[in-house]
Structure 1
Amino acid sequence: MLQVMLLIALIILSFSVLTGLVRVLLGPSMPDRIIALDTIGINLIGIVAILSVMQRTQTYLEIILLIGIVAFLGTIAFSKYIEKGAVIEHERSDR
């Protein structure tokens, strides 16, 4: 019974990733696309967690942390790019 519930959750999360991908490709604005990318990252974390439970292993926990960090940094980088037009700012000193 637990395996069936996990499989249903895996299917729902996979469908959510696909709808997020559609939002990334066809989103009306850039902030909508950034939120969709963040949502895809969160759903991927859920998918990996469910796979970890289904296989009864803890080896995927590091992958979950890595996906979380990369999704967070990507969201911050895209947000900063939208706000200022540059991700990394170089300060010039005119001396």
Structure 2
Amino acid sequence: MIIETVASGFYGIALQIAMACVIVAILAAAYRLFVGPTLADRVIALDMVSVLLVVFLVLFKLVSGIGAYIYVAIGLALISFLATVAFARFIERDRGADLHE
């Protein structure tokens, strides 16, 4: 197995498949984060990466059985929400400055 799991059987296999899919999704979102043509694309990709990292942490908690990962996932979700709101306000101000010129 890829990761030493607490869960076994079909549940363990399903968790590992889910983790592999989340990792692929994180890589795809990271590509958009670095290549994104506009600032809005990059902000949405950053939000997507943070949501996928929260999902990964929850899945990793289910695989490993260590409960601390849930608290890390909750903290990351709160911080990433605030970061997304801050970036959205930054984009709004930036576009507002372009309209007044």
TM-score per shorter chain, which class? 0.7 to 0.9
Q: How many aligned residue pairs are there?
A: 85
Report the equivalent of 1:15.
24
Counting helix residues as a fraction of each chain, which structure ranks higher?
A: 2
Report the equivalent of 2:43.
34
SS state of the match for residue 8, structure 1? helix
Q: TM-score, normalised by structure 2?
A: 0.79
Cα distance in 1 for residues equivalent to 2:35 and 2:19: 24
Pick from 62, 71, 74 the counterpart of residue 71 of structure 2.
62
Cα distance in 2 for residues equivalent to 1:74 and 1:18: 20
Long gaps (5+) in structure 1? 86-95
The reply to whether residue 43 of structure 1 matches residue 52 of structure 2 is yes
SS state of the match for residue 59, structure 2? helix
Task: Report which structure shows greater RCO (CA 8 Å, sep ≥6).
Answer: 2
Q: TM-score, normalised by structure 1?
A: 0.83
**Identical-residue share of aligned pairs (%):** 26
